[in-house]
């Protein structure tokens, strides 16, 4: 993909055009509305007005190397936090309302970051690869078939030797998130046959608007083979 003089993705990019014929995800079908509608009546539960504490800790520990892709970036708080650390960051989402908010925040804060519409199952259409990928709360919204497609999509844009940091609701502890994932499911999705190797899975907490202290989650550090 070609970027303009500001490093922005053109509006009529292949990645954006893919959304026109996109089939609703299992989560959207269950909710009865598209992801974009989640942002029409105030912030959704996952939009906490700042970066996730787990992402802040990972960034402080130097776990992100640019360029970085934030898959399912929402209104951009995690991406903007990383970009403010002088990392090259691209955030993608299917929700145009969220992306518009992310771009506005970037302008207001004077932070350089790219926010583009893209289908999580067709990330190859971005036409580039990334040293680090962040998934904060996207993987756990997909059903089993969608996860297979998503894992392959991530592989297409993660440089060999690169790292995926995946944060998802965990099946352990109480209260659990709405889409709990087991460690076995993570290891089953990201393995040698799919081009990945799970380096570690550690317990963390994901903060929501309803749980300020967070709910049980996993942080999986996954290496692209």
- Ranges assigned E (strand) in the chain: 68-71, 89-93, 114-117, 130-136, 158-169, 196-206, 215-224
Please determine, for residue 225, whether its predicted confidence score (pLDDT) is greater than 90.
yes
Q: What is the CATH number of the domain that holds 112?
A: 3.40.50.150
Q: Which residues contact 14 (CB under 8 A, 6 or more apart)?
A: 1, 125, 127
Query: Are β-strands 89-93 and 158-169 bridged in parallel, bridged antiparallel, or unpaired?
Result: unpaired
Q: Quick check: is 139 in a domain?
A: yes
pLDDT for res 13: 56
- Count: domains in the chain: 1
pLDDT for res 83: 98
Q: Quick check: is 4 in a domain?
A: no
Please determine, for residue 110, whether its predicted confidence score (pLDDT) is greater than 90.
yes
Q: Quick check: is 9 in a domain?
A: no
Q: Quick check: is 50 in a domain?
A: yes
pLDDT category at 16 given cuts 50, 70, 90 is low
Look up the pTM and report it: 0.90
Please determine, for residue 126, whether its predicted confidence score (pLDDT) is greater than 50.
yes
Quote the CA–CA distance of 46 and 51 in Å, as a whole number.
Answer: 10
Q: Quick check: is 7 in a domain?
A: no
pLDDT category at 214 given cuts 50, 70, 90 is very high
Q: Quick check: is 57 in a domain?
A: yes
Quote the CA–CA distance of 191 and 203 in Å, as a whole number.
Answer: 20
Domain span at 106: 14-224
Please determine, for residue 81, whether its predicted confidence score (pLDDT) is greater than 90.
yes
Quickly count: other Cβ atoms within 10 Å of residue 123's Cβ: 26
- Give the largest Cα separation in the chain, rounded: 48
Please determine, for residue 118, whether its predicted confidence score (pLDDT) is greater than 50.
yes
Give residue-wise pLDDT tens across range 151-210.
Answer: 999 999 999 999 999 999 999 876 666 789 999 999 999 999 999 999 999 999 999 999
State mean pLDDT over 120-127: 95
Q: Quick check: is 79 in a domain?
A: yes
Mean pLDDT, the chain, whole residue set = 90
Please determine, for residue 9, whether its predicted confidence score (pLDDT) is greater than 50.
no
Please determine, for residue 98, whether its predicted confidence score (pLDDT) is greater than 60.
yes
Q: Quick check: is 66 in a domain?
A: yes
Instruction: Write phi, then psi, for 34 (nearest 5 degrees).
Output: -75, 165
């Amino acid at each position: 993909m070609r970027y303009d003089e500001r490093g922005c993705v053109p509006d009529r990019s292949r990645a954006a055009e893919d959304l026109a014929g996109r089939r609703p995800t299992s989560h959207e079908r269950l909710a009865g509305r598209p992801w974009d509608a989640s942002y029409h009546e105030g912030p959704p539960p996952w939009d906490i007005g700042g970066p996730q504490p787990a992402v802040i800790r990972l960034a402080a520990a130097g776990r992100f190397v640019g360029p970085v892709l934030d898959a399912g970036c929402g209104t951009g708080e995690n991406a903007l936090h990383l970009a403010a650390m002088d990392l090259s960051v691209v955030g993608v989402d299917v929700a145009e309302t969220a992306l518009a908010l992310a771009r506005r925040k970037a302008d207001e804060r004077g932070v350089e970051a790219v926010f583009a519409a893209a289908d999580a199952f067709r990330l190859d259409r971005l036409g580039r690869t990334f040293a680090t990928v962040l998934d904060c709360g996207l993987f756990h919204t997909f059903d089993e078939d969608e996860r297979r497609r998503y894992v392959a999509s991530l592989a297409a844009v993660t440089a060999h030797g690169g790292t995926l940091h995946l944060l998802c609701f965990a099946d352990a502890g109480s209260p659990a998130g709405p889409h709990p994932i087991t460690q076995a499911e993570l290891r089953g999705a990201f393995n040698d046959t799919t081009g990945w190797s799970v380096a570690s899975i550690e317990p963390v907490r994901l903060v929501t608007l309803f749980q300020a202290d967070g709910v049980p989650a996993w942080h999986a550090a996954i290496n692209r083979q």
